[in-house]
Structure 1
Amino acid sequence: MRHYGIAQECIPCVLKQCLSTARFAQLEEGQTARILAVARQAIEDSKVKPLLVQHVVRQVADAVIQERGESPEFDIYAEVKQRSNALSLAHVPMFQKMLACSPEPIEMGLHLAAAGNIIDFGVKPHDDIDLEHEIRNLDQTSFARYDIRPFRQALHKASNLLYICDNSGEIVFDRLFLEELMRQFPRLRITAALRARPIINDATLEDARAVGLDRLVRTISSGSVYPGTILDETTTEFQTLFAEADVILSKGQGNFETLHPLADERLFFLLRIKCDYMANLASVVKGGLVLIQGSPLPSGRCPDSSRTPPPQPTVD
């Protein structure tokens, strides 16, 4: 018998994020109460229906848009997304210097792309993140799990890579990493997939154009309207690319939550572990960066100590 229901550990975070969205959208008290009621009802519905956290977040976003009387494509976080993109772009010269000086630019690029995953308003309210501080200190967090050996092996054999993006701002560091991949693997065909509609601060095709990602690699909409990738609810084009990809790099916690159950060895998850629930799922300490190859993770498994951590960034 199949059991439904959103994990109890996730419910407080979901409600907090919903409240943050309502306040950020400048809803009145009565409107905010209705938004929280939508979230609580969706959580209750998840006990008897196959609903995920991502479904709840989408329902709440749509309810907020409706309360404001906006069109379905309205971007609640448009201003803060533009700011995070601009701040990240302003630091590109510094990170390009770090990459140029690194003896292992691919691993340095991985580190920057993973560390950039802190720019996530689905976990922290926008006013709880000091973007300038976080961007300047991307080198201060190490990898708690680092499946670099199978990732390199997969890249050497691959003809095409599907790169599933996560947040705005963060995609600037994805671009830097992809530039390094293209230098070392010039024959690798890369497609970057982004969200179909604005949701929290997740990156869309508009964000990809804003940071120049579309001028570097092929960019497509995955069809996902969620802060994650629910494969059955993506476009036929994306599903075909997913099926045909030799390597799939998935960024961020939402994509990890939704794609990890596939247990696909072509998948590599690159993110920062931001909560206890995800830390338990990945068998690592909260707060660390991870590069995890997709495969079942037995409960209680510890990171393989034979995996060598990446070189630490330095700036002269």
Structure 2
Amino acid sequence: MSIEKHHDWKGIASDCYPCSINQAKAASRLAGLDEEQTRRIISVAETELKNSRTTPILVQHIVRRVTDAIICEKEESPDFDIYREIKRQSNDLALSSVGKFQKIIDGSSSPLEKAIQIASAANIIDFGANHSVDVEEELRSLSDIAFDCYNITEFRNRLAGSSTLLYLCDNCGEIVFDMPLIREIQSEYPDIRITAVFRDKAIINDATLEDAEAVGFTSLVPCISSGSVYPGTVLPETSNEFRKLYDSADIIISKGQGNFETLLPTGDKRIFFLLRIKCEYMAQLSGVKKDYLVLMQGQEK
């Protein structure tokens, strides 16, 4: 399947240009590049954005190319993780506070729905969309953020008729709060076989299998890599192993903005998007107000 066919190519939205440039700057500084090196990285981003007007590439491709350019400037190995320390800190903070939120879930009249809310709110731990996040401050308000789109009836109906669930994870820190949600699904729907999916290679603060193992995710459910080196799920560029599981899954939970951007155009009703809307462009794309939560079923084209 071509990228053009999969995404009905219309070019990268102009709203995404400043964010892409700012993300390139933030990653360059985090990697310790000097001013001249940072200017070269910004130039890479600007060139890719300009080319995107006529070439079928996505924001996710630009982030990958910027990351690879930074790695070249650093003369590091291809597996160099620019955000390694931030990812570790995010996971540690989340692990230190998740017990408090588990008590909130356990005391709720609907533990599953409270776990959905907390897992969705935790999507704010995103250094791609926000560039800088006060993780500790954001964690304090996880159980207070409201939904503006909440397809809970459709979600429960789909769960009730499913035997396999694919859970597409997103960011470090956030993944710690995905685990209580998975446990609640296992509790209410014990016959569903759940597989969690992570990025194949370090990109921004997205979680890899290594990160999953560090927080204990691999002890909860089977975990695989999507084969994706992008901050999202570009289906034509995922692994055969992942595609087989994806194609056969009865229900798919898609966490975060990158997965939302890359999978929304598929029009797949098996997918339920779970995220927090972080910018005006995403608000327009989703029809949901900025800073609110989303549990949205994919809609056929």
Please point out which of 162, 184, 187 is paired with 1:183. Answer: 187
Question: What does residue 53 of structure 2 align with?
Answer: 47
Question: What does residue 156 of structure 1 align with?
Answer: 160
Query: What letter corresponds to residue 174 of structure 2 in structure 1?
Result: E
| 1:264 counterpart = 2:268 | yes
Q: 1:3 to 1:131 in 2, by over 3 A?
A: closer
Aligned mates of 1:92, 1:49 — CA distance in 2: 43
How far is 1:3 from its partner?
A: 5.5
Please point out which of 192, 197, 202 is paired with 2:196. Answer: 192
Query: What letter corresponds to residue 155 of structure 2 in structure 1?
Result: F
Aligned mates of 1:8, 1:296 — CA distance in 2: 26
Q: Give the TM-score normalised by structure 1.
A: 0.91
Question: What does residue 227 of structure 1 align with?
Answer: 231
Q: Give the TM-score normalised by structure 2.
A: 0.96
SS in 1 for 2:268: coil
Query: What letter corresponds to residue 254 of structure 1 in structure 2?
Result: G
Query: What letter corresponds to residue 169 of structure 1 in structure 2?
Result: G
Greater Cα offset, 165-174 or 1-10: 1-10
SS in 2 for 1:91: helix
How far is 1:296 from its partner?
A: 5.1
Aligned mates of 1:94, 1:5 — CA distance in 2: 43
Aligned mates of 2:118, 2:221 — CA distance in 1: 19
Please point out which of 247, 251, 265 is paired with 1:243. Answer: 247
Please say if residues 22 and 64 of structure 1, whose CA atoms lie closer than 8 Å, have aligned partners that are also in contact. Answer: yes
Q: 1:108 to 1:3 in 2, by over 3 A?
A: closer
How far is 1:184 from its partner?
A: 1.1
Question: What does residue 96 of structure 1 align with?
Answer: 102
Which contiguous aligned blocks of 4+ residues in structure 1 show a shift greater than 6 angstroms?
A: none
Question: What does residue 32 of structure 1 align with?
Answer: 38
Query: What letter corresponds to residue 16 of structure 2 in structure 1?
Result: C
Per-residue Cα deviation, 1:80-115 (whole angstroms, up to 9, x for no partner) = 100000000001210111111111011011001100
Query: What letter corresponds to residue 72 of structure 1 in structure 2?
Result: P
Please point out which of 278, 284, 294 is paired with 2:282. Answer: 278
Query: Alpha carbon RMSD of aligned pairs, Å?
Result: 1.2
Please point out which of 121, 133, 143 is paired with 1:115. Answer: 121
Question: What does residue 111 of structure 2 align with?
Answer: 105
SS in 1 for 2:15: helix
Please say if residues 117 and 170 of structure 1, whose CA atoms lie closer than 8 Å, have aligned partners that are also in contact. Answer: yes
Question: What does residue 78 of structure 1 align with?
Answer: 84
Question: What does residue 68 of structure 2 align with?
Answer: 62
Query: What letter corresponds to residue 50 of structure 2 in structure 1?
Result: E
Q: Percent identity?
A: 53
Aligned mates of 2:10, 2:144 — CA distance in 1: 38
Aligned mates of 2:265, 2:19 — CA distance in 1: 21
Aligned mates of 1:146, 1:88 — CA distance in 2: 25
Aligned mates of 2:53, 2:80 — CA distance in 1: 30
Task: Say how many residue pairs are matched.
Answer: 295
Question: What does residue 222 of structure 2 align with?
Answer: 218
Aligned mates of 1:233, 1:39 — CA distance in 2: 21
| Structure 2 gap ranges (5+) | none
Please say if residues 4 and 49 of structure 1, whose CA atoms lie closer than 8 Å, have aligned partners that are also in contact. Answer: no
| 1:10 counterpart = 2:16 | yes
Kindly report which structure 2 residues correspond to 1:119-158, keeping only aligned pairs within 5 A, or say none.
119-126=125-132, 129-158=133-162
Query: What letter corresponds to residue 241 of structure 1 in structure 2?
Result: L
| Structure 1 gap ranges (5+) | 298-316
| 1:209 counterpart = 2:213 | yes
